[in-house]
Amino acid sequence: SSKNRVVARKLSLPETKKTGNRVTVLVRVRPISKKEKEAGSRCCVRIVNPRDVYLTDLVNPNDYLRLNRIRGRHFTFDACFPDSATQQEVYSTSTSELVEGVLQGRNGTVFCYGATGAGKTYTMIGTLESPGVMVLAIKDLFDKIKTRSCDGNHVVHLSYLEVYNETIKDLISPGRPLVLREDKQGNVAAGLTQYRVYSVDEVMTLLQQGNHNRTTEPTRANETSSRSHAVLQVVVEYQVRDAAMNIINNVGKLSLVDLAGSERALATNRRTLRSLEGANINRSLLALSSCINALVEGKKHIPYRNSKLTQLLKDSLGGKCRTVMIANISSSNLSSGETQNTLHWADRAKMIRTKANDANEDLLPVTETGTDQAKLVLELQKENR
What three-state secondary structure class fits 223? Answer: coil
Q: Which does 50 bind (CB under 5 to 8 A by kind): Mg ion, ligand ADP, none?
A: none
Residue 117's binding partner, choosing from ligand ADP, Mg ion, none, with beta-carbon cut-off 5 to 8 A by kind? Answer: ligand ADP
Q: How far is the CB of 127 from ligand ADP (least distance, A)?
A: 7
DSSP secondary structure string for all residues of 189-213 = ETT---EEE--HHHHHHHHHHHHHT
**Residue 328 interacting partner from Mg ion, ligand ADP, none (CB closer than 5 to 8 Å by kind):** ligand ADP
**Going residue by residue from 75 to 114, which x/- string records binding to Mg ion, judged by CB under 5 A?**
----------------------------------------
Dihedral angle of Cα 33, 35, 39, 45, to the nearest 10 degrees:
-10
CB–CB of 58/70 below 8 Å?
yes
CA 292 to chain centre: 13
Instruction: Sort strands 52-59 and 155-164 into parallel, antiparallel or unpaired.
Output: unpaired
Closest separation between CB of residue 321 and ligand ADP, Å? 23
126 is annotated as contributing to ligand binding: no
Residue 109 Cβ vs ligand ADP, minimum distance, rounded to whole Å: 18
Neighbour count for residue 279 (Cβ, 10 Å):
8
Which member of 107, 121, 193, 335 binds Mg ion (CB under 5 A)?
121
What residue ranges bind ligand ADP (CB under 6 A)? 30-31, 33, 114, 116-122, 261, 328
In the complex with ligand ADP, which residue's Cβ is closer, 126 or 319? Answer: 126
| Residue 230 labeled ligand binder | no
Confirm or deny that 191 is annotated as ligand binding. no
Report angle CA 200, 211, 284 to the nearest 5 degrees: 115
Per this entry, what is the length of the chain? 385
Distant-in-sequence, close-in-space partners of 198: CB < 8 Å, separation ≥ 6: 156
Picked from ligand ADP, Mg ion, none, the partner binding residue 122 (CB below 5 to 8 A depending on kind) is: ligand ADP
- Nearer Cβ to ligand ADP (39/179): 39
Min dist CB 196 to ligand ADP, Å, is 29
* Secondary structure of 349-377 in HEC code, one letter for each residue: HCCCECCCCCCCCCCCCCCCCHHHHHHHH
- Binding site listing for ATP: 114-121
Residues that bind Mg ion (CB under 5 A): 120-121, 225
